[in-house]
Amino acid sequence: MSGFMIADLDFGIGCCGCLGFLKKADKEADSDKLRALAKSRGGSTRKLASSVPEKSRTICREKTVKETKHLTLDQDYSGQKMINEYVRECTLGRGSYGKVVLYRSSIDDKQYAIKLFYKSRLSRLQVTPTETAMTDVLREKSMQNMLFSFFLQVSIMKTIEHPNLINLIEVIDDPVSDNLYMVLEYVEGKSVCASSGTFGGIGEVISRRYLRDIISGLMYLHAHDIVHGDIKPDNLLVTKEGTVKIGDFSVSHFFKDGDDELFRSPGTPVFTAPECCLGSGYHGKVADVWAVGVTLCCMILGCCPFIGDSLQDTYDKIVYSPLDLPMDIDPELKNLLQGLLCKDPACRITLDAVADHPWVTRDCGLIPRTSCRCKSGCLQKENQIGSKSDTTIT
């Protein structure tokens, strides 16, 4: 399906056709409201509280997200449904707790993907045993309702803006309505693995270009103390110009003071890092790096490197099976994949090292680093593709 593809609206399965977790939605509120929601769920909230944004967290955006408290449902002159100034065009996707619809603004004539959620459903929905993997994950997720997740997702998206991230434009939350709306940048394209339109991998040249965009966006997130938590092809959308944008922050986390340790892994199983399968604490940033490795395998080979006949078998393969790559694979690409998919998180390659890797920079130069509005006051490319200097996020 072309257009904005939201995997988290499918309760069944996401990428790879099987073994998917129940996805979560999210919205924004002030940190006091989020902490109160977290506390009201009961149980252990030590780590979950740390993913609630501090009031002092810097907003790294050129334009703040618009917050609208009034909802008007109407029709235009041709009978098309309207949400405030947005005119409906077509449905892009739907699920058990909401849908994604393409709208066009009557003000700027731009298209936007609007995610609709129902507060009553979000507050009721919880994960069931058949939709999770590890016991500790089930225990933690069973205490977390989707409304809290919605607020957290929007809290994260309100703080960030980057060329390789889906941008949140507006949140519509009328207190007298059961509807919640996220107005998002519309990407008129497909996911990275679907963009070729053919079965199998998409080739090294295209994969390299896409990987560079993924790394650029993910480095920005990590520099802003955000773990994405569900990097996979379905959440990586390609624009008409060929730029990859990371979407779906429904299981993302804030962290602070460099402490990105987490105790639950709600991402998609086949993209889950080995340390996340063991039911103990793990570090979110290096788990994101593993998911990038699985994604690169999907782009190059057309399949995931570790997948079993059952959920438990898949986790066993992720933890214990060696990485099996074709004999004729490019040596530098093999080295990169082995670094990304190193089972020991302490030895796994870093994003900085990926950005400087010879396979990544081949024929392209260093990945342009984006300076931050929150720290340098403006967004600009510090070095263009092909530059010999390497600046980092400041």
Residues at the annotated binding site?
115
* CB contact at 8 A, 163 and 372: no
* CB contact at 8 A, 383 and 389: yes
Contacts of 292 (CB under 8 A, 6+ apart): 211, 214, 215, 218, 231, 340, 354
Pairing of strands 111-118, 98-105: antiparallel
Q: Is 230 a catalytic residue?
A: yes
Distance CA 301, CA 290 (A): 16
Choose, from 26, 230, 248, 260, the residue flagged as catalytic.
230
End-to-end CA distance of the chain: 38
Tell me the DSSP string of 63-104.
SPPEEE----EEE-TTS-EEETTEEEEEEEEEETTEEEEEEE
Distance CA 293, CA 338 (A): 8
Q: Which residue has the tokens 């933690």?
A: 140
Residue 269 DSSP label: G
Which of 68, 128, 117 is closest to 93 using CA atoms? Answer: 117
- Written as six digits, the tokens of 96 are 């058990």
Considering only the C-alpha atoms of the chain, give the largest distance between any 2 of them, rounded to a whole number of Å.
62
Q: Which residues are annotated as a binding site for ATP?
A: 115
- Written as six digits, the tokens of 97 are 């707790």
Which of 323, 388, 394 is closest to 361 using CA atoms? Answer: 388
The catalytic residues are: 230
